[in-house]
Amino acid sequence: MCKFSLSPQDEGQLDIEWVMVQPDTEDAVILYNTGKIYDIYHMSGRVRFIDPIPSSGDGSIEILNLKPTDSGTYQCKVKKLPGIDTHRVQLTVLEQSFLVEKPSKTRCYIQGSQEIGTDVTLKCTSQAGSPVITYNWIKTTTDADQLPVTSKLNSDTGDLLVKNASQIYSGTYKCVSSNRVGTDECSVVLNITPPMNRAGTIAGAVIGTLLGLLLLAFFIFCCFKKRREKKYEKEVHHDIREDVPPPKSRASTARSYIGSNRSSLGSMSPSNMDGYAKTQYNKVPIEDFERAPAQNPNFPPPKVAAPNLSRMGAIPVMIPAQSKDGSIV
């Protein structure tokens, strides 16, 4: 760009000169003098004035078919005596295989607690874009767009560190990421609040933990107790106790049988005793006298003495002795 304006004091001829500045010399690019254009220099045929009449105030040029060797510093000199003015432009020509992309997908977020007195970091990063990308933060809720006095900006990483945060630092902050071909931006709201009641939070956490432990202990105790009860019921079910009395039905059967035959045995004579001993007495179920109780097969039935039988109401019965041939002795 090379735009200019003439003053009434400028009375000489108008000259517009474009040159490429080299370390030791200047190479002419295109000239305008006394209404004529001269472009016969090393860029001949590839350079021209944008305005066909440069004297109207626009001496900008256009370079066609750019080459990497066209990169450099260009100087525009406008001269109309006694006035002289110059303007320099830096041109960088990139290879076709190297595509430059402006920053995009820029993301802003806050890292750290937003409480009074803490250090908080505002972070900014662009997920796309060609290097080198630089970052800049501004506060948009103030007229001066000034950052907090305690803040420190890292333009390479996009981090804005705010130390000893105060409520006056609250507001909207904007991050602008840029490279040589474009820019992108994002915003974030910083809200500095008073510190929360940490003692109450800690006490609540401790009480909640203790309640949880108590519930867990109660659950374990109930499970253990239930398991012991099941184990005890199982042992009692399979246990054989020694103090279980014999079945009442069999004992009563034997006693009733003996009682029903008391009179018969008492009135028998020697003549009919033989038949009774051989037949009637043998009708008494042997199993009622010889079989041991089912609950205690390893012990013989208890023997009761004669005095005890009398106290129990039993009637003694005399059974005659018999010889080997079955006769009464």
Q: Is the preceding peptide bond at 132 cis, omega within 30 degrees of 0?
A: yes
Instruction: For residues 160-174, give the mean pLDDT.
Output: 93
CA–CA gap between residue 21 and residue 243 (Å, rounded): 125
Q: Tell me what pLDDT residue 323 has.
A: 59
Q: Tell me what pLDDT residue 266 has.
A: 47
Q: Is 192 strand, coil or helix?
A: coil
Distances (CA, A) of 206 to 195, 218, 318: 20, 18, 89
Distant-in-sequence, close-in-space partners of 70: CB < 8 Å, separation ≥ 6: 43, 63, 91, 93
Q: Is the preceding peptide bond at 82 cis, omega within 30 degrees of 0?
A: yes
CA–CA gap between residue 124 and residue 174 (Å, rounded): 9
Q: Tell me what pLDDT residue 301 has.
A: 59
Distant-in-sequence, close-in-space partners of 255: CB < 8 Å, separation ≥ 6: none
CA–CA gap between residue 187 and residue 108 (Å, rounded): 6
Q: Is 201 strand, coil or helix?
A: helix
Q: Is 312 strand, coil or helix?
A: coil
pLDDT averaged over every residue in the chain: 78
Name the band, by pLDDT with cuts 50, 70 and 90, for residue 107: very high
CA–CA gap between residue 130 and residue 100 (Å, rounded): 6
Tell me the pLDDT tens digit for each residue of 38-96: 988 888 889 999 988 888 888 899 999 888 888 899 999 998 888 888 889 998 887 65
Instruction: For residues 248-261, give the mean pLDDT.
Output: 50
Would the pTM of this model clear 0.95, i.e. be above it?
Answer: no
Tell me the pLDDT tens digit for each residue of 18-47: 999 988 888 999 999 888 899 888 888 899
